[in-house]
Structure 1
């Protein structure tokens, strides 16, 4: 890519700061690409056209290259962005705006978070959602019950404050405790607060496996009852038993859009996903948080019940073992990183039957959990 500086006459100001010539422009509005020059002045696009006249401080020949607006990554977990202000991994892929706070986990003090953003020279734009799971944990810890009136009022207050401070919507992570303990009406109540600020509802749905259709219906119902747009995060069919159900899933979404609900989805570009080991455990196991869960698992009868439920859940999805689950990071033993759970059971226990695999899952959870 060639560039040249401004060689104008003494005292003459250039017409533009940057002139990108001969680009294949994709404008983001759904139009076919077109060839054009794009001129930038004072940080804004000044002109778009063929063979633009005028001088520029910098000229870039984009012949054979595509020029597009920066991409918006609507699904991120980048609360630690201030440690990586260059955000090079995003910028190099054309991403210029990040939306964080997804899957029910976010900062609570949005004002402080966005204040840091305004004071830190980042290379990307940043927006955040306020997360239901984080708000619920602040108010109710890991209680597996509906909130009382006072608790719901406090959650509404925290959500309203976050929206006032600049959050763009509400997120849920309904496979993660404590969000998984919430009923639909609780989420609708908080979504109505967000709707009053013009926000959106972004959801890691309650199920992406055998009950994915019901989960989509719940997400749509929340949007319709609360009166706000819905973004379904990383839409997928995680259960082999439902592979082929995509038409039915998209049919639910199209029908909701036909009724007037603004519902959209995002999706991975690969056949893998990232989550935490604890999502494999039965929901009831996690009431009270990790300390209480570890206490429960110390009881032999309870431990066996959890293992039995893990195996039943596995088989209900049409799987025969846990080889689909690969450990990305396990702090207690880095040698396990990159290996699937069958391999890890074999290494740790010298056997790899389902009893050994489920025992390994519980042992790893007790030792701090793992990223998958």
Structure 2
């Protein structure tokens, strides 16, 4: 007698081995049997013609606040994602010190999410998330930018010994409360004010708890190889395992460099060092428009940034210093601009023409008018590089996006389609249609590989005794539908999703169940 039996599906167990036909029996939230369960009884799902796989693990997510705004995690769970790694790129929801809280409250887009910021520590944040309920499991990282802002604000200098110790203390607390490691966003303030030595010292604390160092590295274009080497050095010197975030090469002049950056990963691994990476399967990136400004513009506070933006002398300096690649203005398209929604989907070049201004003036004016809260989609990667990275055996899948929904407070702007389409896109476009990798390898990159990296010993594979995080998809129809100009679209072919043995997606529809857990580091 089982609580549920998934019958007649083609099992891809997450290990990379060939698919096989079997039934899967679930009891008390875990996988109790795999094989011929014809004689067994219990509620059943007819999976004939479908693939039965472990639930997908989004290795790089930004759903920290979004899951509190809408715990149904619509755009992720409908992709088959059953676990998200949050707190990436140096930004985490905790610790929420008075200084960080003040910064949060100035973010207009955060205010629209209507989330009560009533926690302080990582433990309190995770407790709030679990008490509210959430559709999928959550793995937390602590953001270096968050703890640096908490201790030092946005000052461009090295920390004092007391400040360094204060940051270490915040990391210790977060690790003791369940964080899996520390993330950095080394192109964003205030993380990019940190030198390598600071990051090594802080990562040493992470390593003492068996945690990982996950990094949006210091450069993904001209400085790609130097930035990868820095991340590897931080890991080697600190003892922390390294995860390179959304691995890519930006700018036509840098296309092909990923072959050399992947060689750096191989060399480090050959010497016994644990370094891996993740990617999203698109040729466009996404972040804030303010990230195009040089580091000195972000020093101090947002109010100071806004004052600088309207200073004629500062604007003149910016024109000389902003190192923008060829085609930047046309390749950069607005995805979120609440004061000018008519600009969403348009390039900076087009907007400049509409405003009868040059692109620099347009950028500075838009940032000032929108309180610096403008998001963009930037094209700049090559399809060949995407395939090269995907074929590397130590590359995982990560959306680099929040859980969104085509309704309510999470339906804003024209966000990058990766929020809705990352995992079905790998399965449909790259595995089935283009055969860049096999379906079994695609599933491995989404399941057992990230689970192994995170130390999740009871998830990521379809084996008896594992938690029943399961995604059932149609291998013939699974595909992404989200587009750059129409991104709020759920994918096709994700038929059923179970989290901890509970059905969250049934026949492609959300049941409203919230069985997810906050998975604390053991």
* TM-score above 0.5, yes or no: yes
Q: Is the 8 A contact 1:282 1:309 kept in 2?
A: yes
- Residue matched to 1:360: 362
Q: Is the 8 A contact 1:36 1:50 kept in 2?
A: yes
- Partners of 1:211 and 1:282 lie apart in 2 by 15
> Which sections of structure 1, spanning at least 5 residues, go unmatched?
1-14
Cα distance, 1:27 vs structure 2: 0.8
Confirm or deny that 1:87 pairs with 2:87: no
Where in structure 2 are the equivalents of 1:111-260 lying within 5 Å? 111-260=123-272
Confirm or deny that 1:38 pairs with 2:24: yes
Matched position secondary structure for 1:266: strand
- Partners of 2:178 and 2:266 lie apart in 1 by 30
- Partners of 1:364 and 1:298 lie apart in 2 by 11
- Partners of 2:4 and 2:41 lie apart in 1 by 9
Aligned length: 347
- Partners of 2:354 and 2:290 lie apart in 1 by 21
- Partners of 1:133 and 1:121 lie apart in 2 by 27
Q: Is the 8 A contact 1:213 1:249 kept in 2?
A: yes
The TM-score, its normalising length taken from structure 1, stands at 0.91
Cα distance, 1:117 vs structure 2: 2.4
- Residue matched to 1:339: 346
The TM-score, its normalising length taken from structure 2, stands at 0.65
Deviates further, 43-52 or 172-181: 43-52
Q: Is the 8 A contact 2:63 2:86 kept in 1?
A: yes
Cα distance, 1:214 vs structure 2: 0.5
Matched position secondary structure for 1:328: strand
Q: Is the 8 A contact 1:307 1:359 kept in 2?
A: no
Matched position secondary structure for 1:32: coil
Cα distance, 1:51 vs structure 2: 4.4
- Partners of 1:185 and 1:292 lie apart in 2 by 28
> Which sections of structure 2, spanning at least 5 residues, go unmatched?
96-120, 377-522
- Residue matched to 1:327: 334
Matched position secondary structure for 1:104: coil
Q: Is the 8 A contact 1:117 1:126 kept in 2?
A: no
Cα distance, 1:212 vs structure 2: 0.7
- Residue matched to 2:52: 67
- Residue matched to 1:271: 283
- Partners of 1:286 and 1:359 lie apart in 2 by 18
Runs (4+) off by over 6 Å: none
- Residue matched to 1:300: 312
- Partners of 1:25 and 1:270 lie apart in 2 by 28
- Partners of 1:269 and 1:52 lie apart in 2 by 39
- Partners of 1:271 and 1:285 lie apart in 2 by 28
Matched position secondary structure for 1:133: helix
Q: Is the 8 A contact 2:310 2:368 kept in 1?
A: no
Q: Is the 8 A contact 1:38 1:48 kept in 2?
A: yes
Deviations 1:146-202 (A, max 9, x none): 001010010000111111111111000000011111101111111111111111111
Q: Is the 8 A contact 1:230 1:262 kept in 2?
A: yes
- Partners of 1:299 and 1:94 lie apart in 2 by 48
Matched position secondary structure for 2:313: helix
Matched position secondary structure for 2:192: helix
Sort the Cα spacing of 1:222 and 1:337 in 2 relative to 1 into closer, same or farther, 3 A: same
- Partners of 1:259 and 1:361 lie apart in 2 by 46
